[in-house]
């Protein structure tokens, strides 16, 4: 069950990252986000192999990004898609951590 949840969360996170890149580099022509996207894909790649470490890295990257976006001087129409997609990224980090610990707990109970 946990692996299915992680698979769905990873697909949603990948879709959110790709749509964030499309929205901000192609639609709004904001090139500042390229470095954020590189680190976001790095965190996503780490989460594929090590869910707990990747989830923590997603939180370390997502929470300050959300706060910096809140303090920026952009219009709300430009901020809204990023708010939604960064919240998806943060939630994905929490789910990676939670399901990984749940999976390890279940694995130790079974004695495997």
User: Tens of pLDDT along the chain (112 residues)?
Assistant: 678 888 898 899 899 888 888 877 777 776 666 777 888 889 899 988 998 999 999 999 888 888 887 787 778 887 888 888 889 999 999 999 988 877 666 666 665 5
Q: With respect to residue 67, please indicate whether it lies within any of the assigned structural domains.
A: yes
User: Taking the model in full, what pTM does it have?
Assistant: 0.80
Q: With respect to residue 112, please indicate whether it lies within any of the assigned structural domains.
A: no
Residue corresponding to tokens 């809204």 = 80
Side-chain-facing half-sphere of 100: CA atoms under 13 Å: 17
Q: With respect to residue 9, please indicate whether it lies within any of the assigned structural domains.
A: yes
Q: With respect to residue 25, please indicate whether it lies within any of the assigned structural domains.
A: yes
Q: What is the extent of the structural domain holding 27? A: 2-107
Q: With respect to residue 78, please indicate whether it lies within any of the assigned structural domains.
A: yes
């Amino acid at each position: 069950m946990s692996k299915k949840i992680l698979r769905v969360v990873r697909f949603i996170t990948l879709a959110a990252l790709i749509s964030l890149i499309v929205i901000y580099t192609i639609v709004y022509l904001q090139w500042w986000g390229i470095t954020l996207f590189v680190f976001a894909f790095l965190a996503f790649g780490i989460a594929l192999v090590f869910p707990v470490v990747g989830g923590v890295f997603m939180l370390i990257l997502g929470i300050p990004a959300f706060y910096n976006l809140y303090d920026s001087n952009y219009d709300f129409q430009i901020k809204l898609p990023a708010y939604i997609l960064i919240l998806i990224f943060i939630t994905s980090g929490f789910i990676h951590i939670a399901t990984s610990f749940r999976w390890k707990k279940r694995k130790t109970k079974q004695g495997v």
